[in-house]
Amino acid sequence: MAKADAIDVVDDEENVAVPAIPANDIDGLEDVDETDITIPRITIDHKNGWFVDSQTNETFTEFKCVILGLVKQRVLWPPTPGEEGEGPLCRAVDFQTGYPDLSKWLEKYNGITAQKQSGFTIQEVESGQLPCNNCGLKEWESHPNNNTPWCNEQFTFPLVRITDEGYSTALISFQKTGLKPCKSYISGFKTSKRPLYSALTLITAIHNRKGTVEYVTPSFTRISDSDPTEWPRYSESLHKIREFVTTPRIMEEAVTTEEKEEEETATPEPAKAAAKPAPAPVIDDEDEDEPF
Q: Check whether residue 249 and residue 165 sit in a common domain.
A: yes
Same domain, 83 and 116: yes
Q: Is the dihedral of CA 184, 178, 242, 8 positive or negative?
A: positive
Query: Do 92 and 210 reside in the same domain of the chain?
Result: no
Domain co-membership, 90 together with 222: no
Measured distance CA(258)–CA(247) in Å, rounded: 20
Residues 163 and 223 in one domain: yes
Question: Which pTM was predicted?
Answer: 0.75
Instruction: Assess if residue 145 is contained within a domain.
Output: no
User: Cβ contacts of residue 130 below 8 Å, gap of 6+?
Assistant: 90, 97, 98, 99, 100, 118, 120, 124
- Does residue 163 share a domain with residue 61? yes
Per residue in 233-272, pLDDT (tens digit) is 999 999 989 988 898 754 444 444 444 444 444 333 444 4
**161 within some domain:** yes
Residue 55 shares a structural domain with residue 170: yes
Q: What does the alpha-carbon distance between residue 176 and residue 156 come to, in Å, rounded to a whole number?
A: 13
Asked whether residue 291 is domain-assigned, the answer is: no
pLDDT in tens, 6-28: 333 333 333 333 344 444 556 67
DSSP H or E stretch at residue 239: helix 231-245
pLDDT number for residue 205: 97
Domain span at 110: 78-138
Domain boundary, last residue among 112, 138, 164: 138
- 181 and 230 assigned to the same domain: yes
Per the structure, how many domains does the chain have?
2
Look at residue 157 and tell me whether its pLDDT is greater than 70: yes
Residues 238 and 102 in one domain: no
